[in-house]
Structure formats: structure tokens, C-alpha cells
A and B are shown apart, each in its own frame.
Chain A
């Protein structure tokens, strides 16, 4: 069944239809949230919140556009504005210090995984706006217009964020290579 059909069913009161949508998109929403926030626990909370919000605002979804774009943009906007209180901040610092990454093994260093970890670490150094723009555009391959609409900025601003983000990453990687 297509996303649009599931949304239709959901609006008619069939609540199991939404569970299907959650199953279909939870990994994608969680991955995006994790890439933006850099913390799995926080990303999990935001994923839950994104689906809850999508559910309560389902009537506002414009069925002429892909449901995935609407949902992921909603999630990205939540992540962009997400703030944590002190207690949560402290909890994350503690988790991070306990889970200090062990030095990579030779295999890891040579393989893809280490490069991906490095990229995620460098992404976290960017301003959140640039990170969100880069992830929506390259990771989720969303059109500029959808990103601009979701983040309530002109397309030109998204282009500038993409340029600055990409340039910083390029420079940092060059520096790391020495």
C-alpha cells in the first residue's frame, strides 16, 4: 500500500495504518536525527517526537508531495530547534565520557567505518543549520525548495549553508590529512 493510501486510512480513523508508516520510516528518521544531533539517546527521543507530531498534524499534510519529504523535513526542523535542559546535557556528557572511543584498530582505520566516523565527528563541528542543510540535501537527497520551505529560509540561504558546510568539511579533512 502506498504512503498516500496509508495516510488516507489513518485520517479515516484506522490507527494501525500509522503503525505501518512508523515501521516504514523509523530507521530513516532515526538516522537523520542521529546524524544531526550526534547522540543516539537524544535522536531516539526526537524520533518519537517527530512521529507523534506527524500523527497529530496529519491533516495538514499536502498529499500532492511525497510523504517522506514531509516527515523528514518535520523531523529535521525538530532537530534544528531541539534544546536540552542541563540535566540531559550532563547525562550525555557522562555517557560520552564512559564510552570514550577505543583507539581504532588497523582494520578499522583502513576500512570505510573509520572514515564514516571521522565524517560524523567533523559534521558535528559545523553549525547545526549547515549540518541540517547538508544532510537533507546530500544524505536524504531532498530538493532545495523543500529544504528551504522546511527551514523557513530562502533557497539562497540553503545554498550558502551548503557551500559553507562543504567548504569547512573539505578544509578540515585536508588539515587532518596533514
Chain B
């Protein structure tokens, strides 16, 4: 091989990713091409240096204990209770069942009746908190 291989191919050679024939061809080229030799040596030095980076001890005692499965059940119960509470509250506020769709995002706000709009506004912070909790769990 007289011309230099494409750089990405030369790089693949250093990792042994090529087939045997190509590996040999590049090896032969390297014996006569200083430019490619220099490149290969540089890459090898870089990967050696990354390999040699030391591990850093994690700051002590900062990891919080994991929630136990027991807690998970409690969370599910708490969320269910919240949802039941919201449903009851909407019912009492006089929001009709089709309008409930708004609260899961299927109905635009402007199509709600006035009482439902008021209910929706009051529920905003609560809804936000619930979503944060769910996001945190996910």
C-alpha cells in the first residue's frame, strides 16, 4: 500500500477492528510511512492516558438510603387517595364528566364551563405537585 489509508481506517487498525488482510496491508504501510506511524503512536498514548486516569473516591456518606418496597406501596396508596380526592372535589364543584377530560389534557381549557375553569385554576398547584411526584418516581 503506497498511499495512506483513510484516517478512520487507520484508527480501526489500532483497535484490530479490520479483517486480517487489511490489518496486514496497513501494518506493511506503517513500516514505510512516518506520518501514519506518528498518528498511531499519538492515539495509543491518548488511550493509555485515559486508561491510567485514577478513580476518585465518592464523597463520603452522601448517598441517601434507598426507599424500601414498603415505601413504594405507601406511595401508591397515597397517590390513589390523592386522585380519589381530586375526583370527589371536581364532582362537588359541578364539573361535568366530559369536562373532566381537560384534567388529563384531552380538552382545551377554553371549552370548559365557567365553574370548571375556576375549578381547574384552583387545582393547578396541586396538579403540578402531583406531576412532580410522578416525575420523580419515574
Interface positions of A (Cβ within 8 A of B): 13, 15, 18-19, 22, 26-31, 34-35, 40, 44, 47-48, 51-52, 55-56, 115-116, 119-120, 123, 134-135, 138-139, 141, 159-160, 162-163, 166-167, 169-170, 173-174
> Does any Cβ of A come within 8 Å of B94's Cβ?
no
Count class of interface residues, chain B: 20 to 34
**Do B55 and A138 have beta carbons less than 8 Å apart?**
no
Question: With contacts A30-B58, A139-B51 known, is A173 near B8, CB below 8 A?
Answer: no
Q: Say whether chain A's binding surface is mostly helix, strand, loop, or mixed.
A: helix
For B53, the chain A residues whose CB sits under 8 A away are: 35, 116, 119-120, 139
**Do B57 and A51 have beta carbons less than 8 Å apart?**
no
CA distance A119 to B47 in the complex (A): 11
> Does any Cβ of A come within 8 Å of B43's Cβ?
yes
**Do B62 and A44 have beta carbons less than 8 Å apart?**
yes
CA distance A163 to B59 in the complex (A): 33
Nearest-neighbor residue (CB-CB) of B64 within chain A: A48
For A173, the chain B residues whose CB sits under 8 A away are: 42, 45-46
Nearest-neighbor residue (CB-CB) of B48 within chain A: A138
**Do A48 and B62 have beta carbons less than 8 Å apart?**
yes
For A139, the chain B residues whose CB sits under 8 A away are: 50-51, 53
Closest 4 CB pairs of A and B: A30-B58, A170-B42, A138-B50, A163-B11
